């Protein structure tokens, strides 16, 4: 039996990542702007960096707030994209089967947007 190399396991763990909302670790997805994320992150840090209670623990929590803000925006975009695909399929007078499949994808996108936070909280973990 062949044991996968650590770098191979890491690469394969990212297979078919569509929205990354269930990931244990925050990362930008292909097509997302590092520059836009840094602007968002900086806006969060600027709000709290000079606060009288600012310390490394508070700033770490602010970093997580910035990541969660990004994930919420990503989730909202995934829902909008699914709704757009549904509307396009509906306009194109697709078959009922195609419409139902697209409707289901839109519903799943919305569910995936909310489930990770609920699951993590139920396990006593903090949201990503």
Burial of 70 (0-12, 13-18, 19+ CB in 10 A): buried
Of the candidates 30, 61, 35, the residue with the CA atom closest to the CA atom of residue 48: 61
116 vs 57, more confident? 57
Of the candidates 128, 111, 107, the residue with the CA atom closest to the CA atom of residue 63: 128
41 vs 118, more confident? 41
Sequence spans of domains, the chain: 31-122
Tens digit of each residue's pLDDT (9 = 90 or more) over 13-68:
554 566 676 777 888 989 999 999 999 999 999 988 887 777 888 888 999 999 99
Place of tokens 């929590």: 61
Reported pTM = 0.59
Count the helices and strands in the chain (H runs, E runs): 4, 0
Indicate the Cα dihedral angle 116, 40, 17, 1, nearest 10°: -90
Place of tokens 């009288």: 52
pLDDT at residue 14, rounded to an integer: 52
Tens digit of each residue's pLDDT (9 = 90 or more) over 67-78:
999 998 988 888
Count of residues in the chain: 128
């Amino acid at each position: 039996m062949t044991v996968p190399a650590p770098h191979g396991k890491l690469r394969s763990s990212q297979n078919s990542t569509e929205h990354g909302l269930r990931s244990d670790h925050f990362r930008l997805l292909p097509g997302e702007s590092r520059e836009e994320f840094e602007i968002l992150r900086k806006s969060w840090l600027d709000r709290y960096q000079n606060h009288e209670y600012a310390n490394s623990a508070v700033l770490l929590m602010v970093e997580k707030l910035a990541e969660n803000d990004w994930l919420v925006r990503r989730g909202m975009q995934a829902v909008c994209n699914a709704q757009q695909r549904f509307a396009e399929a509906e306009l194109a007078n697709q078959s009922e089967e195609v419409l139902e499949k697209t409707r289901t994808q839109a519903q799943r996108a919305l569910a995936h947007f909310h489930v990770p936070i609920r699951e993590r909280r139920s396990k006593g973990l903090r949201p990503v």
